């Protein structure tokens, strides 16, 4: 993992600014002579810069090991792949758990509220630093897809291709509602924020899966042969969710979750630009927009709406609904369709 330290302050959407900030990142493959083969990968809410581990498929694999590596759809023999930890996160980039240079204490809630646009502008400073004028592609799913959309709008001439997976121009009503409850759970337990963080993660896990996939994996299966007529953990889905909650509090920070969740709630291209058409009107990237058939957190309808708007504006866009029963998180799972679409979109020379 590398660290980039900014040379100039970052002006934030809120009107505040960060005097200085660091961005943690990893790279895979080699930058070519004319610096034209760089792909930026943007991670989702709980992700980090460790997208891949080209040295080992099994030991400490990256979160997108399936997609990024030699001969993989995002082929590191061909591309110079960069994955940053987003601004505001707790995996090496500046965020609420970083030391405030003025007080030498953790920022925590004194950290300024940041937006997807702020994350993207911090990434752009890193891309400058790497002496890359134009990215071959920006790619991301979920919150990473939001960043990809923002890249295509904020820096239209700095990317050739944009791959947006399981994302939307704004969280839909139900998804926004679940988002606010996650934060509420953390804020309601200020003395023990990890209790709220675990609850937020459990809610998240249900929304990242489909009813069908929870049914197939867990259904109503019990851990014991029969009901215990008490209040200990009994259903396998209950045990799984608790395990996910406990695992998460050991690797994530509750305050950071508030910030990243808020950035997702705030992301709204329609509000920011007046309409989807206005948002996309200066885009020059070729788009690959993909949704997941069983994703109810970011329903296909929202992705189609973006694709239709881009077509209306005479932009180059490919839309594909990936048929998968596994819900939102399908973009992190093995999928021939997803792999094939990404590989051929990166290969295309239109």
Residues designated catalytic: 142, 295, 328
Position among 49, 159, 198, 254 found at the interface with its own copies (CB under 8 A)? 198
The least distance separating its own copies from the CB of residue 236, rounded to whole angstroms, comes to 10
Q: Is 239 helix (H, G, I), strand (E, B) or coil?
A: helix
Q: Strands 22-28 and 135-141, how do they pair?
A: unpaired
Structure tokens at 312: 């209306």
How far apart CA 199 and CA 347 sit, in angstroms, is: 42
Q: Which of 1, 11, 14, 347 binds its own copies (CB under 8 A)?
A: 14
Report the distance separating Cα 288 and Cα 103, nearest Å.
Answer: 44
Shortest reach from residue 268's CB to its own copies, in Å? 6
Where in 295-334 is the site for its own copies (CB under 8 A)? 296, 299
d(CA 27, CA 38): 10
Residue 176 interacts with its own copies (CB under 8 A)? yes
* Binding test (CB under 8 A) with its own copies, winner from 33, 60, 230, 349: 230
Q: Which is nearer to its own copies, 70 or 215 (CB)?
A: 215
With b for 16 or more beta-carbon neighbours within 10 A and e for fewer, the 218-228 pattern comes to beeeeeeeeee
- Span of 8-16, 97-105, 151-159, 306-314 interacting with its own copies by CB under 8 A: 8-16
Q: How far lies 117's CA from each of 78, 248, 313, in Å?
A: 29, 26, 22
Q: Does the protein bind its own copies through residue 211 (CB under 8 A)?
A: yes
Minimum CB separation of residue 295 from its own copies in Å reads 12
Of 119-127, 129-137, 155-163, 235-243, the segment contacting its own copies by CB under 8 A is 235-243
3-state secondary structure of 305: helix
- State the minimum distance, in angstroms, from the CB of residue 119 to its own copies: 15
DSSP 259: H
Among 51-59, 232-240, 286-294, 306-314, which window interacts with its own copies (CB under 8 A)?
A: 232-240
Report if residue 189 touches its own copies, rule: CB under 8 A.
yes
Which of 6, 65, 84, 170 is close enough to bind its own copies by CB under 8 A? 170
> To the nearest whole angstrom, how small is the minimum distance from the Cβ of residue 151 to its own copies?
21
**Measured CA distances, 1 to 93, 155, 204, 228 (Å):** 11, 25, 28, 48
Region near its own copies per CB under 8 A, out of 19-27, 81-89, 173-181, 308-316: 173-181
Q: Compute the chain's Rg from CA coordinates.
A: 20
DSSP E strands in the chain: the ranges are 2-5, 10-11, 17-18, 22-28, 38-42, 68-69, 74-75, 80-84, 135-141, 159-165, 286-292, 317-322
The residue from 1, 99, 109, 311 that contacts its own copies (CB under 8 A) is: 109
Q: Is residue 225 part of the contact set for its own copies (CB under 8 A)?
A: no
Give percent helix, percent strand, percent coil of the chain, each to the nearest 5: 40, 20, 45
Q: Work out the end-to-end distance of the chain between its first and last CA atoms, rounded to an integer number of angstroms.
A: 34
Residue the block writes with tokens 């752009």: 124
Q: Which stretch binds its own copies (CB under 8 A): 67-75, 263-271, 287-295, 335-343?
A: 263-271
Q: Which residues pair with 17 in a beta bridge?
A: 11
Residue 278 in the binding site for its own copies (CB under 8 A): no
Separation CA 185–CA 319 (nearest Å): 36
Residues of this chain that bind its own copies (CB under 8 A): 13-16, 109, 112-113, 170-174, 176-178, 180-181, 183-185, 187-189, 195, 198-199, 202-203, 206, 210-212, 214-215, 218-220, 227, 229-231, 235, 237-238, 241-242, 245, 258, 262, 265-266, 268, 271, 296, 299
């Amino acid at each position: 993992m590398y660290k980039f330290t900014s040379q100039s302050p970052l002006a934030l959407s809120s009107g505040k600014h960060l005097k200085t900030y660091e961005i943690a990142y990893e790279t895979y493959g080699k930058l070519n002579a004319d610096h034209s083969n760089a792909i930026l990968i943007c991670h989702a809410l709980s992700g980090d810069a460790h997208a891949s581990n080209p040295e080992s498929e099994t030991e400490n694999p990256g979160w997108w090991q399936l997609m990024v590596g030699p001969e993989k759809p995002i082929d590191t023999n061909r591309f110079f792949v960069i994955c940053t930890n987003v601004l505001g996160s707790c995996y090496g980039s500046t965020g609420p758990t970083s030391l405030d240079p003025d007080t030498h204490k953790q920022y925590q809630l004194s950290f300024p509220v940041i937006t997807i646009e702020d994350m993207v502008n911090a990434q752009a400073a890193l891309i400058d630093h790497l002496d890359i004028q134009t990215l071959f592609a920006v790619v991301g799913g979920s919150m990473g897809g939001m960043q990809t959309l923002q890249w295509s709008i904020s820096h239209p001439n700095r990317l050739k291709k944009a791959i947006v997976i399981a994302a939307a121009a704004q969280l839909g009503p139900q998804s926004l509602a679940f988002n606010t409850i996650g934060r509420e759970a953390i804020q309601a337990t200020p003395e023990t924020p990890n209790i709220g963080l675990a609850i937020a993660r459990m809610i998240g896990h249900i929304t990242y899966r489909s009813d069908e996939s929870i049914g197939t994996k867990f259904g109503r299966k019990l851990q014991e042969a029969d009901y215990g007529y008490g209040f200990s953990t009994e259903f396998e889905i209950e045990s799984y969710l608790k395990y996910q909650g406990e695992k998460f509090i050991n690797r994530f920070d509750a305050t950071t979750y508030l910030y990243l969740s808020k950035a997702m709630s705030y992301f709204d291209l329609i509000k920011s630009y007046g309409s989807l058409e206005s948002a996309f009107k200066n885009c020059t990237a070729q788009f690959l927009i993909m949704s997941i058939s069983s994703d109810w957190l970011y329903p296909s309808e929202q992705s189609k709406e973006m694709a239709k708007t881009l077509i209306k504006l005479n932009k180059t866009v490919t839309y594909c609904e990936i048929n998968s029963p596994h819900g939102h998180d399908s973009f992190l799972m093995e999928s021939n369709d997803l792999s094939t679409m990404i590989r051929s979109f990166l290969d295309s020379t239109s």
